[in-house]
Amino acid sequence: MERLLLALLVIVGVPAATVAYVIVVERLVGLLPDRRRTLARPWLWVAPGIALLFVFLVYPSLNTLYISFFNADSSKFIALENYRYVFTDQTMLIAIRDNVIWLVVFTALTVGLGLVTAVLTDRVPYESVAKGIIFLPMAVSFVAAGVIWKFMYDYRPAGSPQTGTLNAILTTVIPGFQPQAWLTLGPWNNLFLIAVGVWAWTGFCMVILSAALKGIPTEVLEAARVDGAGEFQIFRRVIVPMIGSTIAVVTTTMIIFALKAFDIVYVMTNGNFETEVVANRMYKEMFNVRDFGRASAIAVLLLAAIVPVMMINIRRFQQQEEMR
């Protein structure tokens, strides 16, 4: 009964509250002098959005920062002790190292492969089919992608039937090849995990960059060819500069995903075999160790890493708007 009432509240109450707010706002605006209506109406309309942002984003962020200065159960103020743990604990240092590997390798591969596939598929008659196949992994959740690729990397001892696709292929094609427990082979296992993320995200990068490619005037490309430029020169000196802003946006998106990588690592290794990442460590501190102070400090570290990237992206958008 409680669930039914909650469902009715959401289905009926939310639209009713929205309509009521619109009516109230318009009546209040109607009471104002004409010269103040233009100024007041936008603020009254965005007020609910600002309130939601404060409740669900600003307040939790500030509260997380506050909790990060306390001990595990928030009963004792310990100043910067949690941050000392973040930057000195061996497990955390491994997590930070692995996140840097994700940041560099994952971002470079997804954006690079996305750009290359966007350029190549743009020149074939079966463009839509090719793009559909490459984009298809985006329809799979990252948890499901982790499960799929865990079977791909699965290991059975030599002499046993290999259920892992990779070991099965290699033992069949290469005589005498010994099956490998790929996810335990450090430091290469980090690259095997990153490969899953690349498989899932390359299609996204390709679609965004392909849309930018469509905006390049064909006259510019033809003029470059008439001037004797080769295809590689056109790619490097014409295509890349003209879609540079889109490449920057896609790169920023991939950097943010790399910094908060969690699903794939959690499903495939749970951070074992030196594949730990910062977000997975935060999850363990929060729900396994139940140390809210350390978990909050790690969350603040992630936020501090992501905010500058977002600021750069916002600044770029502002520059583009000024150019327009």
Query: Measuring CA to CA, which residue among 281, 268, 286 is closest to residue 90?
Result: 281
| pLDDT, tens only, 192-223 | 999 999 999 999 999 999 988 888 888 888 88
pLDDT at 71: 93
pLDDT at 214: 87
122: pLDDT strictly greater than 90: no
2: pLDDT strictly greater than 80: no
pLDDT at 203: 92
| 230 φ/ψ angles, rounded to the nearest 5 degrees | -80, 170
Residue with tokens 């307040």: 59
- What is the rounded average pLDDT of the residues 160-183? 89
Q: Which residue has the higher pLDDT, 318 or 291?
A: 291
322: pLDDT strictly greater than 70: no
C-alpha to C-alpha distances, 172 to 169, 175, 178, 273, nearest whole angstrom: 5, 7, 11, 27
Q: Report the share of the chain in percent with pLDDT over 90.
A: 45
| pLDDT, tens only, 24-44 | 888 888 887 877 777 888 888
76: pLDDT strictly greater than 70: yes
- What is the rounded average pLDDT of the residues 256-278? 92
Q: Which pair of tokens denotes residue 35?
A: 């010269």
294: pLDDT strictly greater than 70: yes
Query: Measuring CA to CA, which residue among 121, 102, 126 is closest to residue 264?
Result: 102
The span from the CA of 2 to the CA of 134, in Å, is 45
Q: Mean of the per-residue pLDDT values for the chain? A: 88
Q: Give CA angle at 99 (147, 236), nearest 5°.
A: 95
- The total number of residues shown for the chain amounts to 324
- What is the rounded average pLDDT of the residues 162-190? 89
Q: Give CA angle at 75 (69, 76), nearest 5°.
A: 50
Residue with tokens 């992994």: 137
pLDDT at 99: 94
The span from the CA of 295 to the CA of 292, in Å, is 5
What's the burial of 56, exposed, middle or buried (CB within 10 Å: 0-12/13-18/19+)? exposed
Query: Measuring CA to CA, which residue among 114, 127, 136, 123 is closest to residue 249?
Result: 114
- What is the rounded average pLDDT of the residues 41-56? 87
Asked which of 13-17, 105-109, 256-260 is least confident by mean pLDDT, the reply is 13-17
pLDDT-derived band at 323 (thresholds 50, 70, 90) equals low
Query: Measuring CA to CA, which residue among 58, 67, 86, 93 is closest to residue 292?
Result: 67
pLDDT at 18: 83
pLDDT at 1: 65
